[in-house]
Amino acid sequence: MIDLKRNERIQIKNGSKAEVIQKIGEGGQGAVYKVHYAREDYAMKLYFPRAIKKKNEFYSNLENNIVNGSPNESFLWPLYITEMKNGTFGYLMRLRPAGYEDFSKILTAKVQMNSDMAIINAALHLVNAFKDLHSKGYSYQDLNDGNFFINPENGDVLICDNDNVAPYGQNVGVDGKSRYIAPEVVTGKSRPNVHTDRFSLAVVLFMLFFRGHPFEGAKTASHCCLTEQLEKEYYGVHPLFCYDPKDESNRPVRGIHNNVIRLWNMYPRYIQDAFIKVFTAGIKDVNERLTEREWTNILLRYRNSTIKCSCGCYNTFEDETQAKLTCADCGTEINRPLVLTINKNKIFLYPETRLYTYQIEDSQDLFQEAGMVIINKANKSLWGLKNLSKRGWIVEYSSGEQKSVPYGGVLFLLKGTKIFFGNEYSGEIN
């Protein structure tokens, strides 16, 4: 297909014309252009005429998605659709803002995530996006390393290619990449759906944490040429998790899968178990695949118990019974700090630990910060929790003394302290 030229004008359905600024890139199904429309800049994806099989169906699905709107702000959702012309069409979406990198570049280590906390947050953002997508009755169908961007500074996620997204039980004919798609789709037994999304989500989370592929190990490495037939075998017919507790024959190979070998044991048991479940029992039984809610709980537990050593390295306490840990980087011994329990959340209170809004009020926002552990400047052994939330808190120390802590105020971290967050939420430090 011939590229559109600068200033070329494309008719938007029920609207005016979008003006081409420049080409951004192209993929398998089409090209993406920067365009100007209604006083704003957008990205326009324009399909190659051959790429879309059932054009009318695809077009009306896209229109539907536009009408229904984006499930949450992590999606570069279709906003406007062009008129069908010369057998092709396209849609407008937000441009990817600066600072967001292809996930594939993180996997190839061309780009580094800024911190372990950014990695946890990226995982949470992804899971959260899929939770909202699925709860609107959609499935994504084609999650792979080329379909989302991550901001390595803070773990923010933007998901593009939302053109295959379809209501439950439907799909518009996408064939995903074998390496990412659920086994039953690879073998052709099923079309993509919510359950296959959950499988792909686990694959992507595994790759984000362990920088390797869950089904690649000694078995796959034994083939010098990975033919399509073999891809079907290892991602579809007989996928074998590289840390399957009952079958060691596909373990990561030193020299090839170094990341997985090194990183697997750095994660707590409950995270390993989650992946084991999805990638063993969950291969055949879709109900063994973790739901987004289950992932969220696991990831929040992980974030709540991860602390930042003064050397900058993040370390995680397995649970409250663990008395101390050794920093994975500098080797410092760190005693278990005090833990603030608010309902199900157990927050390990170490300098720079964040308190989040969802922990202290009815909120779905997992990222907005409501407090932070700080060190007293004059007395470094004295730590406090700073109120960064909108409400004033009331603190009751174990002595019985009460104190109010307004926004910006600080309470001492002392055993037995109760905190009332100005609503029905309260917590206790122990």
Partner 1 sequence: MGKYDNVEGIARRTMILFFLIDTSNSMSGTKIGEVNDAIEGVIPEIKEISSSNADALIKIACLTFSTGVKWMYPNPVDVNDFKWSYVNAGGMTEMGKAFEVLNEKLSRNEFMAEVAGSYAPAIFLLSDGAPTDEYKDAIEKLKKNNWFKYALKAAVAIGDDADKDMLATFTGDEELVLTAHSPEALRKVIRFVSVTASKIGSKSSVSAQTTNAKQDDFAEQITEFNSDLIDSQNDNW
Q: How far is the CB of 106 from partner 1 (least distance, A)?
A: 9
Element (H, E) at 426: strand 426-429
Sign of CA dihedral 222, 223, 226, 229: negative
| Under rule CB under 8 A, residue 86 binds partner 1 | no
15 binding partner (options ligand ATP, partner 1, Mg ion, none; Cβ < 5 to 8 Å by kind)? none
Phi, psi of 140, deg, nearest 5 = -85, -45
| 3-class DSSP assignment, residue 147 | coil
Q: How far is the CB of 41 from ligand ATP (least distance, A)?
A: 10
| Under rule CB under 5 A, residue 145 binds Mg ion | no
Q: How far is the CB of 27 from ligand ATP (least distance, A)?
A: 2
Query: End-to-end alpha-carbon separation of the chain, Å?
Result: 66
| Under rule CB under 6 A, residue 244 binds ligand ATP | no
What track of x and - describes contact with ligand ATP for positions 45 through 84 (by CB under 6 A)? x------------------------------x--------
Judged by CB under 5 A, the chain residues 278 through 337 that form the site for Zn ion are 309, 311, 313, 327, 329-330, 332
- What is the identity of the amino acid at 90? G
Rounded CA separation 258/329 (Å): 18
398 binding partner (options ligand ATP, Mg ion, partner 1, none; Cβ < 5 to 8 Å by kind)? none
Q: Return the range that interacts with partner 1 (CB under 8 A); candidates 15-23, 230-238, 345-353, 402-410.
A: 230-238
Q: Return the range that interacts with ligand ATP (CB under 6 A); candidates 27-35, 279-287, 361-369, 414-422.
A: 27-35
Of 428, 388, 430, the residue nearest 408 (C-alpha): 388
Q: Among 95, 221, 334, 342, indicate the residue that binds partner 1 (CB under 8 A).
A: 221
Q: Where are the alpha helices (DSSP H) in 305-406?
A: 357-360
Rounded CA separation 166/144 (Å): 17
Show Cβ contacts of residue 228 under 8 Å, excluding neighbours closer than 6 positions. 178
410 binding partner (options partner 1, Mg ion, Zn ion, none; Cβ < 5 to 8 Å by kind)? none
Assigned token pair, 20: 């081409």
32 binding partner (options Mg ion, partner 1, ligand ATP, none; Cβ < 5 to 8 Å by kind)? ligand ATP
Of 318, 339, 424, the residue nearest 385 (C-alpha): 339
| Under rule CB under 8 A, residue 104 binds partner 1 | yes
Assigned token pair, 411: 């309470």
Q: Among 8, 57, 63, 231, indicate the residue that binds partner 1 (CB under 8 A).
A: 231
341 CB neighbour count, 10 Å cutoff: 14
| Under rule CB under 6 A, residue 32 binds ligand ATP | yes
Judged by CB under 6 A, the chain residues 93 through 122 that form the site for ligand ATP are 93, 95-96, 102
Phi, psi of 360, deg, nearest 5 = -120, 5
| Under rule CB under 8 A, residue 94 binds partner 1 | no
385 CB neighbour count, 10 Å cutoff: 26
Of 306, 284, 358, 308, the residue nearest 128 (C-alpha): 358
Assigned token pair, 190: 């099923």
330 binding partner (options Mg ion, ligand ATP, Zn ion, none; Cβ < 5 to 8 Å by kind)? Zn ion
20 half-sphere exposure, CB direction, 13 A CA radius: 19
| Under rule CB under 5 A, residue 27 binds Mg ion | yes
| # binding residues, ligand ATP (CB under 6 A) | 18
Element (H, E) at 383: strand 383-387
231 binding partner (options partner 1, ligand ATP, Mg ion, none; Cβ < 5 to 8 Å by kind)? partner 1
Kindly provide the residue ranges of all beta strands, DSSP E only, lying in 51-105, ordered along the sequence.
80-81, 90-93, 101-102
| Under rule CB under 5 A, residue 351 binds Mg ion | no
29 binding partner (options Mg ion, ligand ATP, partner 1, none; Cβ < 5 to 8 Å by kind)? ligand ATP
Fill in the DSSP letter of residue 288.
G
Footprint on this chain of partner 1 (rule: CB under 8 A): 1-2, 28, 50, 102-105, 107-110, 112-113, 115-116, 119, 145-146, 175-181, 185-186, 188, 207, 211-213, 216, 220-221, 223-229, 231-232, 235-236, 255-259, 262-263, 266, 311-314, 328-329
